[in-house]
Amino acid sequence: MILPGKTIGILGGGQLGRMFAIAARRMGYRVAAFDPTQDCPTGQVADIEVNAPYDDLAAARRFAEQVDVVTFEFENVPSETLAAIEEICPVHPSPFVLETTRHRLREKNVLRSNGFPVADFVEVRSADDLQRAVAQLGVPCVLKTASFGYDGKGQVKIDGSTDLVRAWSTLVGAFGSEAEAPGLFGSTLLGVVEKFVAFEREVSVIVARTTDDDVKTFDVFSNEHRNHILDITTVNKTASGKPGASAPDDRFAKTAKELATQIARAINLVGLLCVEMFVEHNGTIIVNELAPRPHNSGHVTFDAAVTSQFEQQLRAVCGLPLGDTTILRPAAMANLLGDLWQHAEPNWAAALADPRVKLHLYGKRDAKPGRKMGHITALAETVNEARAIVVAARQSLMQQ
């Protein structure tokens, strides 16, 4: 058990690490951040900031010697770096969990071998493999990189009119030349083709687990995406009663939470895990992806839950009892992307004119289109009302 007063190391310096550091410092921990970029969002609120490339093993070892446990907010840390750190202090979730979840084929094979529902998929290593995979799965389907994909990057949807040779070139070109591909994606696999899921909605469940097998889930988050980037998340109040109009209903919410719990145990998770899922029109659930860290959809818990996802991550990796995940009121979150800054500084006063709005900015200096710069949340009597509040507040940011 790692008690308050100790130092928590976090790999990655983005907004997830920033909010984790805030939760940790509130509970009396010190925080050390490891990230290549100076003055990163996490480093701005951490006690110690180590700036070095993720593959700098000497710097990683020095970092590990300053902390009592290491966790992460960024998956793409080299295996050699994780191994070097683990020789000095515990790493949670484990390097095995990280290696599994950041590689689509390994992740899907682990899920399928444990009996969890996933879309049909075929591995591909060349344009010829892609031709055969599409013939096997049929269209529509989706070609994805095995690694390094996020927010829709590294994905190509394929239908009956798609030029498969061009689709393959597009995938490879998103990350480098085909000659560089083995170094980017592993020596034996470049991509995965998945059968397209005609879903009714996208949801996520965040689950935490300790070394003592204490497991707790948050309620199901309903997620809306725009241009493959999470746009709005809603979550209903935990207590029974009339659900909000857009809240998940009992026909799949219980199953989704049970699936997340079973997956956490199957991979021997210690820490936090987000399970992204598709819900089909008949209520069937398909597991889409796993993220072994806090997740964008869980940001709403900072304001709406008894215990935020960030505090829960801290409790889990430190071996403390897990916190209460009760959602206090129906809530919504809307992402703020760099697009809002393209013409002028957003009108913060206009957005905050509604006293129900909570503003969270990440301390990023450069606002670029599609870059997550912050988010806003609101609590209300129903999820529809909460959603309307954050949508209106975001719209008001463009008022001049």
Distance CA 281, CA 283 (A): 5
Question: Which one of 3.40.720.10, 3.30.470.20, 3.40.50.2000, 3.40.1280.10 gives the CATH number of domain 199-396?
Answer: 3.30.470.20
Query: Cα angle at 138 between 157 and 100, to 5 degrees?
Result: 60
Enumerate residues 6+ apart whose C-beta is below 8 A from 204: 220, 221, 223, 274, 275, 276, 277, 295, 297, 298
- Give pTM, 2 decimals: 0.91
Distance CA 204, CA 233 (A): 10
pLDDT at 188: 43
pLDDT at 260: 97
pLDDT tens string, the chain, 400 residues long: the values are: 999 999 999 999 999 999 999 999 999 999 999 999 999 999 999 999 999 999 999 999 999 999 999 999 988 899 899 999 999 999 999 999 999 998 888 999 999 999 999 999 999 988 899 999 999 999 999 998 887 666 556 788 899 888 898 888 877 765 554 444 444 444 444 789 999 998 999 999 999 999 999 999 999 999 999 988 999 999 998 754 444 444 446 678 899 999 999 999 999 999 999 999 999 988 899 999 999 999 999 999 999 999 999 999 999 999 999 999 999 999 999 999 999 998 899 999 999 999 999 999 999 999 999 999 999 999 999 999 999 999 999 999 998 7
State in words which class domain 7-91 has. Answer: alpha beta
- Give me 102's structure tokens: 């950041």
State in words which class domain 120-195 has. Answer: alpha beta
Domain ranges (residues) in the chain: 7-91, 120-195, 199-396
Chain mean position to CA 72: 11
3-state class (DSSP) for residue 356: coil
Distance CA 185, CA 183 (A): 6
